[in-house]
Amino acid sequence: MRVLLTSDAVYSHFAPMVAPVAVALREAGHEVTVATGAELAAEVTGRGLRHLVLPRMLGPREKFADPERARRLGLTPEALAGPVTGESFGRLFAAETALAAAEDLIEVASGFAPQLVIRENAELGAYLFAEKIGVPCVTLDTAAMAPALHDDVLPFINGSRAAFGLPPITSGAAMAGAAWVSWLHPSFYPPEQLTPAHRHYQAPGDEPDTLAAEFGELPTDRPLVLAALGTHSKLLAQGADPLPEIVEALGTLPVTAVVAVGDDGLARWERARPANVLLSAFVPQRALLRTVDLFITHAGFGGVRETLDAATPVVALPQRQDQPANARRMAELGFGVRLDEDEISAAAIAAAVEKVLSDPGYRHAIRGFRRRTSTLPTMERLIADLESLVG
């Protein structure tokens, strides 16, 4: 079958789900094309996939380059400082961004004549395009707590539907399409977020990256803590950087710690460097998470998925977008402790780390979730289910 996959022009939207599903479909013998912005060209073609460029799909920095466009999309300091809402999600992804992508898809992808369209949940142009050409649309849930199906998105998506010649919808759940694919066990979702279209599978089990020798030489006589706050979120940063407080807190505890501070952060670090804390420009997060006792995270969804896969308890320090909702859900499920932005201090972080490390209940809860995830169908079943949609 001919399958078109789409992604917003952001690495963290493309790499976790769109890329492995596209590769798996190609390896199963299907004709696969990925449509996204020019910024992801190397990521797409580097995996041996055909790339159709959507000329008006912008990368993160490009969205900020035009102040008026950024304002229309809701990329203002005030909006970015808080959690994502249905309205802010709709303004950014379901209005002019979705319409431009849908119109570009008509121009560049109609000749491919896809029999199935697969999108990640922030790329709504494909949702419109698939309905226009009359083929099933499947969504890959790359941000489980984002309000992608919230009714507050309706005014924005219905405006795009009208401009694209489609009738309005009356429920946000209608955007779930033929299937809403998640790599999380359904128990992660609050019950009100689940729809009849939700389908749950195991993520493909790639081999972990090899760790550098410096990580293998870390002491083994005390708990190992990893702290990493992501990279893409720096574009959206509005509040204070909590890394100094994290390093200070870990320096007071009987732990060994690895803290990812980025190239710039490492070069410019002028504060104390506690003897038990390794500051690193970059860490192979997925591989290291399998070996540590606790993860200090900003609770971006990529890090959430990786820590759930590794069954590593967390201390979450969310700041904006979907991070507060991700952190809240992990705390509700007993996977760790959440500290809101106004609660962050070295003393509070140290207390949270001690609490999680001293209470085995957090590890029991997250390991139980990992066991339940291991009962889900595999990628092979997902491919078969996608094939059944086309018949």
Q: What is the pLDDT of residue 261?
A: 84
118 in helix, strand or coil? strand
Q: Around 298, how many Cα atoms within 13 Å sit in the side-chain half-sphere?
A: 23
Query: Cα dihedral angle (93, 99, 102, 107), rounded to 10 degrees?
Result: -140
Better-predicted residue by pLDDT, 215 or 355: 355
Q: Which of 371, 376, 23 lies closest to 202 in space, CA to CA? A: 376
- The encoded tokens of residue 281 equal 């420009």
How much is the average pLDDT of 38-51? 95
How much is the average pLDDT of 42-46? 95
Q: What is the pLDDT of residue 368?
A: 96
Residues 314-326, buried b or exposed e (16+ Cβ, 10 A)?
bbbbbbbbbbbbb
Does pLDDT of 85 surpass 80? Answer: yes
pTM: 0.88
Does pLDDT of 86 surpass 70? Answer: yes
Does pLDDT of 214 surpass 70? Answer: yes
Does pLDDT of 317 surpass 80? Answer: yes
Does pLDDT of 63 surpass 80? Answer: no
Q: What is the pLDDT of residue 335?
A: 97
Does pLDDT of 174 surpass 60? Answer: yes
Q: Which of 292, 313, 324 lies closest to 365 in space, CA to CA? A: 313
Q: What is the DSSP pairing of strand 277-280 with strand 294-297?
A: unpaired
Q: What is the pLDDT of residue 358?
A: 97
Q: What is the pLDDT of residue 240?
A: 64
Signed CA dihedral, 241, 246, 248, 249: sign only: positive
Task: Answer whether 260's CB lies under 8 Å from 201's CB.
Answer: no
Give the pLDDT confidence of 235-250 residue by residue, as tens digits.
444 456 788 899 999 9
**Residue 199: how many CB atoms within 10 A of its CB?**
20
What percent of the chain clears pLDDT 90, i.e. is strictly above it?
72
